[in-house]
Amino acid sequence: MSLIHSTAVIEDGAILGDNVSVGPFAHIGANVKIGDNTTVASHAVIVGDTTIGKNNRIFSHSAIGTIPQDLKFNGEDVQLIIGDGNTIREFTLINPGTITGGTVTRIGNHNLLMGYVHVGHDIIIGDHCILANATNLGGHVEIGDRVVIGAMSAIHQFVHIGDYAMIGGASALTQDIPPFCLAEGNRANLRGLNLTGLRRNMDREEINILKSAYRELFEQEKPLQEIVKSLLATTKSNKVKSLCKFITTSKRGIPFTRNKIK
């Protein structure tokens, strides 16, 4: 049974699963699909070709599935797909994809998007991420799993952030951040590993291996790609391989400053 407030607008064609709750003055468009046990609070707007999974919490005044903020958008068929167990707080704006970006914006499972977050067009967000208040993501950004982005940070379009990375609050990020790393500043720069996040999810041996790889990559005078090639040839750690492969495929470059070796 769904619980729909009498003042909510549910357009013909919308599909709501079991135990979906829709609050006062919410608006759900004709092409929206919402999974079981999801709650939509008052004054939320969900429109477009939008699919939302199970057990999500969508707070008041969120705008989900509204057309991309892209002047080239001309009404093409585009999608927004949101997984299960996400919390989307007040005044969050999430746009679908565009033709030039693959047509889909995709958000995974168990993410927390705090108030006033903006998720632009053609973005991919993994699982278990936290985007703090007023985080702004430009179009085509890709974020891995268990990423944390501090409040009031701005992420430039096409930036890629790897798994377990953390971006400090009020940062302006214009380049790619490898997995497991911590970055902050305007412009954001690598500051080390995201040790707090790693300790919550990995054992000490894995962290020590990553520490050694980080020092070799970012604290020596050899060219970065030369170090990457050497590590890939010698390491047995899948996490170090992941770190190195991210660096080799980065299109925007990695923001770091080498420490001078004495």
Per-residue tokens: 88: 């989307």
Indicate the pLDDT class of residue 241, thresholds 50, 70 and 90: very high
State which H helix or E strand residue 64 sits in. strand 63-64
Would residue 120 show up in a list of annotated catalytic residues for this protein? no
Percent share of the chain, pLDDT over 70: 98
The domain limits of the chain are 3-140, 198-249
Catalytic residue among 61, 118, 121, 140: 121
CA distance 138 to 251: 16
Strands 188-193 and 181-185: antiparallel
pLDDT at 261: 38
Which residue pairs from 21-28 have beta carbons closer than 8 angstroms and sit at least 24 positions apart in sequence? 23/60
Per-residue tokens: 219: 């604290």
Taking only the tens place, the pLDDT of each residue in 64-109 is 999 999 999 999 999 999 999 999 999 999 999 999 999 999 999 9
Would residue 121 show up in a list of annotated catalytic residues for this protein? yes
CA distance 28 to 10: 5
pLDDT at 42: 98
Catalytic residue among 70, 122, 145, 176: 122
Would residue 122 show up in a list of annotated catalytic residues for this protein? yes
Per-residue tokens: 125: 């967000």
The answer to whether 178 touches 247, Cβ cutoff 8 Å, is: yes
CA distance 188 to 157: 14
CA distance 113 to 122: 17
Catalytic residue among 139, 150, 162, 197: 139
CA distance 214 to 223: 14
Q: Which neighbouring-strand residues pair with 185?
A: 188
pLDDT at 262: 32
Pick the CATH number of 198-249 from 1.10.10.10, 1.20.1180.10, 2.30.110.10, 3.30.420.340: 1.20.1180.10
CA distance 167 to 177: 9
The answer to whether 14 touches 29, Cβ cutoff 8 Å, is: yes
Taking only the tens place, the pLDDT of each residue in 184-231 is 999 999 999 999 999 999 999 999 999 999 999 999 889 999 999 999
pLDDT at 221: 86
In the block, tokens 């998007």 appear at 113
Does the domain at 3-140 match CATH 2.160.10.10? Answer given as yes
